[in-house]
């Protein structure tokens, strides 16, 4: 078992670091990346004028996912967990659009996360997430809100794998991704990532964790795209192709199954070297911050925070918040006034 703070911190910090590493090169073609950063592409974090490596909407939404499941946990089974997470996503939407909250229950917009100015920054929020939450209508697998399979569903759900066992993590990962992404590949990829994280925390090797995620996915309607490309990623990780060529065969990461596959390829190829895995996961033509974030979640949970370069941890934006929420996910629930102030039961 890896129910230890270094693995929880590794998962959350690792995701944020992968997000920040890929952030400057998102939308850029590989040839442009190499022309700018050298033949190996981007290999280090880019710092702003405050000496900080900035996160994107991927990490912003991951934090709100964590807050949502922690608030649901305080209700001790007396709630529909995706609905509590949906309210957390409404809080994130508030940070991006400053909507009128006068018609809502006061608790919906009561969150300690709303005290952090960095979470109000527009860091390239996904259009599907924004338009879905704008509708104020909760999507579900049974009643999809759209037909989107963008990677915005999968890139935010890693905390679910830290809180629940593998079967429940898969189900909840699907349900929470389906709040905004209605295509099967948009939510099954979320279930698979949550399951992989949960299995790693149980003590499994990455390849074994992937097999469990595939087995759960096969029980879902519309699973073929996700399962086929994840299996392809596993096979590609076992050959001698140049990484950029292998990743090109998996896509660009804009959709859920591709983003998950690129992260899985990189995690398997360099499973004992966090830095090499992240560099591999972001240097391609597509959605570099999301593929980096997912890879960082997986390998951070597997290797732990003590195997993430300290110089990267030290400069990541919102480091203290990321570490604190990691510890709260490890604790899960605490009978204290301070806890309920952070994660209200009502």
When comparing pLDDT for 322 and 98, which is higher? 322
Question: What is the model's pTM?
Answer: 0.97
pLDDT in tens, 280-303: 999 999 999 999 999 999 999 999
Q: CA 187 to CA 288: how far, in whole Å?
A: 20
Phi, psi of 255 (to 5 degrees): -110, 160
Yes or no: say if 288 and 26 are a contact pair by the CB < 8 Å rule.
yes
Question: How confident is residue 105, by pLDDT bands cut at 50, 70 and 90?
Answer: low
Closest C-alpha among 162, 118, 138 to residue 19: 118
**Lookup: tokens for 67:** 């807050």
pLDDT in tens, 125-165: 999 999 999 988 999 999 999 999 999 999 999 999 999 99
**Lookup: tokens for 330:** 């490890």
Say whether 289 counts as a known binding-site residue. yes
Choose which CATH entry (3.90.320.10, 1.10.4080.10, 1.20.140.10, 1.10.730.10) describes domain 5-43+52-342.
1.10.4080.10
Yes or no: say if 269 and 247 are a contact pair by the CB < 8 Å rule.
no
Q: Domain-by-domain residue ranges, the chain?
A: 5-43+52-342
Question: Radius of gyration of the chain from Cα atoms?
Answer: 18
Q: Which residues share a beta bridge with 316?
A: 53
Say whether 56 counts as a known binding-site residue. yes
Closest C-alpha among 202, 92, 197, 71 to residue 152: 92
pLDDT in tens, 210-255: 999 999 999 999 999 999 999 999 999 999 999 999 999 999 999 9
Closest C-alpha among 172, 149, 294, 175 to residue 233: 294
Element holding 224 (H helix, E strand): helix 224-236
* Mean pLDDT, residues 23-33: 97
Yes or no: say if 42 and 281 are a contact pair by the CB < 8 Å rule.
no
Q: CA 279 to CA 295: how far, in whole Å?
A: 10
**Lookup: tokens for 114:** 């709303």
Question: How confident is residue 345, by pLDDT bands cut at 50, 70 and 90?
Answer: confident
Q: Long-range pairs for 72-78 at CB < 8 Å and ≥24 separation?
A: 73/163, 73/332, 73/333, 73/343, 74/333, 74/339, 74/340, 74/343, 74/344, 74/345, 75/345, 76/333
Cα separation values, 148 from 180, 224, 298, 344, Å: 8, 16, 24, 32
Say whether 185 counts as a known binding-site residue. no
Q: How many Cα atoms sit within 13 Å of 280 on the Cβ side?
A: 26
Say whether 122 counts as a known binding-site residue. no
């Amino acid at each position: 078992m890896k129910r230890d703070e270094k693995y929880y911190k590794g998962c959350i910090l690792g995701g944020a670091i992968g997000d920040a590493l890929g952030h400057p090169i998102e939308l850029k073609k590989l040839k442009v990346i190499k022309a700018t950063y050298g033949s190996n592409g981007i290999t280090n974090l880019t710092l702003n004028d405050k000496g900080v490596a900035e996160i994107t909407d991927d990490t912003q939404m991951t934090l709100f996912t964590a807050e949502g499941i922690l608030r649901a946990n305080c209700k001790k089974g007396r709630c529909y967990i995706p609905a509590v997470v949906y309210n957390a996503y409404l809080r994130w939407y508030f940070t991006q659009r400053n909507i009128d909250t006068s018609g809502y229950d006061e608790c919906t917009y009561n969150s300690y996360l709303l005290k952090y100015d960095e979470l109000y920054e527009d860091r390239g929020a996904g259009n599907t997430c924004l338009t879905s939450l704008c509708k104020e209508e909760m999507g579900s697998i049974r009643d999809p809100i759209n037909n989107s399979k963008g990677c915005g569903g999968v890139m935010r759900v890693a905390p679910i794998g830290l809180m629940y066992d593998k079967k429940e993590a898969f189900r909840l990962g699907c349900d929470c991704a389906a709040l905004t992404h209605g295509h099967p590949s948009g939510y099954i990829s979320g279930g698979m990532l949550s399951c992989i994280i949960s299995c790693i925390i149980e003590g499994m090797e990455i390849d074994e964790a992937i097999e469990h995620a595939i087995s759960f996915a096969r029980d879902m309607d519309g699973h073929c795209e996700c399962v086929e490309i994840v299996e392809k990623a596993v096979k590609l990780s076992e050959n001698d192709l140049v990484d950029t060529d292998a990743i090109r065969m998996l896509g660009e990461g804009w959709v859920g199954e591709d983003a998950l596959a690129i992260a899985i390829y990189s995690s398997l190829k360099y499973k004992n070297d966090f830095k090499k895995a992240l560099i591999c996961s972001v240097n391609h033509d597509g959605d570099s911050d999301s593929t980096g974030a997912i890879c960082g979640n997986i390998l951070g949970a597997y290797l732990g925070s003590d195997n993430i370069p300290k110089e990267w941890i030290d400069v990541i934006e919102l480091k203290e918040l990321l570490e604190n929420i990691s510890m709260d996910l490890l604790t899960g629930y605490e009978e204290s006034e301070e806890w309920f102030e952070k994660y209200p039961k009502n």
